[in-house]
Structure 1
Amino acid sequence: MSEKKFASQADLEEKKITFAKLSEHAYAFTAEGDPNTGVIIGDDCVMVLDTQATPVMAQLVIDQIRTVTDKPIKYVVLTHYHAVRVLGASGYEPEHIIASNDTRDLIVERGEQDYKSEYERFPRLFDAIESVPGLTWPTQTFTGEMTIWLGSVEVQLKQVGRGHTKGDTIAWLPQDKVLFSGDLVEFGATPYTGDAYLEDWPQTLNNLLEFKAEKLVPGRGDALMSADTCRQAIEETRDFLSDMYGSVKACQAKGMNLRDTYKATMEALSPKYGHWVIFEHCLPFDVTRAYDECQGVRDPRIWTAERDIKMWQDMEG
């Protein structure tokens, strides 16, 4: 392997946790660019959106929830299938684990490989991995949209288009105008597009703009507290995708190989996005998927721990 440490294996620094109140019902558990968890407090119970990567890490979220309510955590919603988002689910002991049918299909198809792959890439995010009992399986699935009432609090779960994965689910609180985007939107953090649909994602973000959210919990980055910053986060995510995919398409049109495409795209994007969290972690995976999609590989290939290492050596070696 090259001298540059693989993915985020060298990232060992603990992050400061923030538990931010967005509305009477909505909270965001954030940690300086680590994966976020959303919390919705209804009249009689609590819903958690994305779980952290292990049950032990889930307890950090539960500790924060217990500072504001003692209501039972009845629902867990998976915005998509990635291990870092779903493997902590058992820690909440929920009655219901909800995901889109597409997300369940992806867990069936590639959940096990993704688990091993993500742990090898970013071990710090899997504190006490031995506490994970296995893959997280939804107990309830939906296609398109589904409404859940937490007493009088309406939660709309929706698939608004493919993007980060084909199963992406957002949650919308129409009464509060709060949006939970999962990894469709990032703020000050680099989108991971290794399992993405890059041709579709910009339109999916346009669909999100139509909600005119006044508060937003992105997949990574600070919770957003105004309509202007919500729009900014969505547009900046869209700009990154456009710039990255555009660079790869231009390189491919010149007949450049994958490694040279990666180097050129890194050079092109670094001035504008290099300061974003996990930029150097994500870009090799992002460019690889973009290169595939430009060549007509419509559905993302499955990442395995072995494929990850080979890709990294090819790019960085």
Structure 2
Amino acid sequence: MAKAFASQGDMSEKKTSFTEIGEGLYAFTAEGDPNSGVIIGDDSVMIIEAQATPRLAQKVIDCVRSVTDKPISHVVLTHYHAVRVLGASAFGADQIIMSDKARAMVVERGQEDWDSEFQRFPRLFEGHESIPGLTWPTTTFSDSMTVYLGKRKVVIKQIGRAHTAGDSVIWVPDQQTMFTGDIVEYHSACYCGDGHYEDWGATLDAVKAYDPQSIAPGRGDALVGRDMVDAALTNTRDFVDSTYNAVKPVAARGGSLKDAWDAVRDACDPKFRDYAIYEHCLPFNVARAYDEARGIDTPRIWTAQRDLEMWEQLQG
């Protein structure tokens, strides 16, 4: 019998942090668990990423209430993954915002992703019984949109495919601060199972072109100052490229998925084995890299059954 996914045994509580990354801007982080962001405007608050369940979202709300009593008016979801969106109901926001592409992915694969992620990573679904169902946006956009929280301008934009085809970033120009979702990580593995390796580097270049002074990444510590921002961009690029560049020659010669797995372990273990969720991400990253290197542009839908079949292949 194949051993369990690494994440199924990861049940230890993570320490949370609430870090100010600019005036009225905060990053909620949890040692490699999914991050959330907070933007405080003149009259209300915008939340970036909703956590996996309403119970986990309450931890973010408690942090918000430690710094402001303004109502939460907007929740922005950078992409469709269950661990990012299923807690949205807890915030009671007037608007839930996603890109058109991200919403289309909820339609296409939202339930399958929920079932898959729940099987893979049970700890992240603490209080799952409180989830009312799939999270649907009230507002979508095709390229970019601007929200004013009083006088504070917030730009929500798609700048390229990376972690998914529907990724958005949130830019706060008055503080030169960006919330990147899982396009950028810090000392955490990138989850690339629904990603686009060939495009990811150009999307990181697009992030850098904004010259952000601070970034709230998808996972890992808040990035304050150019040095930390640049280090995270460099490390994220290295992680993605190291994975894909190990797989491409295997796929070109007709090697197997297991051959690709061995090649990625050889290339990435020495550099990244101590990164958060590395072992969890690795099989999904290899499978997606193997598909993309063989010309499959649209990531295949992960289901709970496909997860197990893929893992059996790799263990074999």
Q: Is the 8 A contact 1:15 1:31 kept in 2?
A: yes
Gaps of 5+ in 1: none
- Residue of structure 2 equivalent to 1:29: 28
The corresponding residue for 2:179 is: 180
1:79-116 per-position Cα deviation (integer Å, ceiling 9, x unaligned)? 00000000000000110000000000000000000000
CA contact (8 A) 1:19 1:64 kept: yes
In 1: Cα distance, 2:23 partner to 2:227 partner: 20
CA shift, 1:253, in A, is: 2.5
- Whether the 8 Å CA contact 1:193–1:285 is kept in 2: the answer is yes
Segments of 5+ residues of structure 2 without an aligned counterpart are none
TM-score by length of 2: 0.99
- Rounded to whole Å, the distance in 2 between the matches of 1:252 and 1:96 is 44
Deviations 1:257-279 (A, max 9, x none): 11111022112210011111111
Give the 3-state SS of the residue equivalent to 1:200 in structure 2.
Answer: helix
Alpha-carbon shift at residue 7 of structure 1 (Å): 4.0
In structure 1, the partner of 2:131 is 132
CA deviation profile, 1:91-148 (whole Å, cap 9, x unmatched): 0011000000000000000000000000111000000100000000000000111110
What's 1:87 paired with?
Answer: 86
Q: Name the aligned partner's letter for residue 249 of structure 2.
A: A
Count of aligned pairs between the two proteins: 316
- Give the match for residue 58 of structure 2: 59
Correspondences of 1:290-305 after superposition (within 5 Å): 290-305=289-304
More helix per residue: 1 or 2? 2
Check the 8 A contact 2:16/2:28 in 1, yes or no. yes
RMSD: 0.8
The 8 Å contact of residues 6 and 309 in structure 1, kept in 2 or not, is answered as no
Q: What CA distance in whole angstroms lies between the structure 2 residues aligned with 1:250 and 1:38?
A: 39
Please give the secondary structure, in 1, of the residue aligned with 2:37: strand
Partner of 2:111: 112
Q: 2 CA distance for matches of 1:233 and 1:255?
A: 34
Point out 4+ residue stretches in structure 1 off by more than 4 angstroms.
none
Q: Does 1:2 align with 2:19?
A: no
1:9 alignment partner, SS class? helix
Tell me, in whole angstroms, the C-alpha distance in 2 between the residues paired with 1:253 and 1:140. 42
1:75 partnered with 2:74: yes
Mapped partners of 1:220, 1:255: distance in 2: 34
2:160 corresponding residue in structure 1: 161
Q: Does 1:280 align with 2:290?
A: no
Return the alpha-carbon distance in structure 2 between the equivalents of residues 103 and 156 of structure 1: 17
- Corresponding residue for residue 170 of structure 1: 169
What CA distance in whole angstroms lies between the structure 2 residues aligned with 1:213 and 1:122? 32
- Higher mean displacement: 271-280 or 77-86: 271-280
Deviation at 1:152, TM superposition (A): 1.0
Amino acid at match of 2:122: P
Q: Partner residue of 1:246? A: 245
User: Residues 270-305 of structure 1, C-alpha deviation per residue, up to 9 Å, x if partnerless?
Assistant: 001111111111111001001111111110000000
Moved more, 256-265 or 188-197: 256-265
1:50 match: 49
Letter in 1 for 2:118: Y
Q: Is the 8 A contact 1:185 1:233 kept in 2?
A: yes
C-alpha deviation, 1:254, in angstroms: 3.1
Do the aligned partners of 1:53 and 1:88 also contact (CA within 8 Å) in 2?
yes
* Secondary structure of residue in 2 paired with 1:51: coil
